[in-house]
Amino acid sequence: MAKAASQHFYRAVATKMLQSALALSVMLALFAGTQSVAAQAEESAQKGIQLKKEGITAYIVRDESLDGIKLTMLIGHNSKLSQRIRKMVGRDVIPLIFSVSTLPGQTTFFNPLALEFIQDGKTWRPDSSALESAMIMLEEKGKFGGVLEGGQTHQAVLLLPEWFQPNRPIYVRYRELNDANFQLTQSLKGS
């Protein structure tokens, strides 16, 4: 009972934190100058975007084929919440709160296996065979991956391995993969 109550509390805190930042993300995506958006897209394609040690990082994934925005991501880290999540899961992990959406009127596919996390030359990406153990869903029947339509948001807490150091720079980038395994799994879950 206590574990369920604490999970509910963490989900509520994480959801509020990301919802309040979602409006900022959409405004950034809609009103950012094309030069700064293009510069961020080039940098993030190469080395990724550096996550803030505390707070929320906005990350825009561009669709090169359409010369537009594909995804907006809000990635949050909070040391106090991290300590509580570590206790809850019983492992030494670095929890990052993710909120992923697309622009109104768009439909796109989000693959969480395309996320890469880089620190000190080492790269980690979620494994399709262990994806559910690497994340905590923020809603009981929530999704984190698959088709995203304008107005939808996918949210989860991703649990980075213990070898990541929260006081050292962590970069994230989104690199499309041809992962039929993830798409097949999502199709089966939807039917």
Question: What residue segments make up the domains of the chain, in order of their start?
Answer: 2-190
Residue type, 180: A
Q: Quote the pLDDT of residue 142.
A: 85
Lowest mean pLDDT among 63-77, 79-93, 98-112, 158-172: 63-77
Per the CB < 8 A criterion, the answer to whether 29 and 40 are in contact is: no
Enter the pTM of the model: 0.73
Q: Which two tokens stand for residue 159?
A: 């649990």
Q: Quote the pLDDT of residue 65.
A: 73
Q: Quote the pLDDT of residue 35.
A: 45
Question: Could you read off the pLDDT of 154-175 as tens digits, one per residue?
Answer: 999 999 999 999 889 999 999 8
Please, which pLDDT band fits residue 69 given cuts at 50, 70 and 90?
A: confident
The C-alpha torsion from 164 through 124 and 72 to 178, rounded to 10°, is 180
